[in-house]
């Protein structure tokens, strides 16, 4: 499924081996579990387990967790 198909507040895992992020954004790892807060155009506003903000692309392949 694609990230843009999830509802706000859902936890998900990145399935893509090389996730797309903005140029100066924090790097993401395959399998990271994140929480979706918002989709804004091409990118999203998400947080990781340590509440760091990350911005995977809205079209990223993900799987819902829990």
pLDDT tens digits, the chain, 66 residues: what are they? 999 999 999 999 988 777 788 787 787 877 889 999 999 899 999 999 999 999 999 999 999 998
Question: What are the tokens at 26?
Answer: 């924090």
The count of domains in the chain is 1
Instruction: Kindly give, in sequence order, each residue whose CB lies less than 8 Å from that of residue 23, ignoring residues fewer than 6 positions away.
Output: none
Query: How many degrees, rounded to 5, is the angle at CA 45 between CA 41 and CA 47?
Result: 160
Q: Looking at residue 30, what is its pLDDT?
A: 77
Residue 51 in tokens: 């509440």
Element (H, E) at 35: strand 33-40
Which CATH number characterizes residue 47's domain? 2.30.30.40
pLDDT, residue 42, reads 92
What is the span of the domain harbouring residue 8?
3-65
């Amino acid at each position: 499924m694609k990230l843009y198909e999830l509802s706000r507040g859902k936890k998900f895992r990145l399935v893509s081996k090389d996730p797309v992020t903005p140029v100066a954004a924090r790097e993401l790892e395959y399998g990271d579990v994140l929480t979706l807060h918002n989709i804004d155009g091409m990118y999203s506003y998400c947080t990781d387990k340590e509440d760091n903000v990350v911005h995977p692309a809205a079209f990223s392949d993900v799987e819902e967790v829990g």
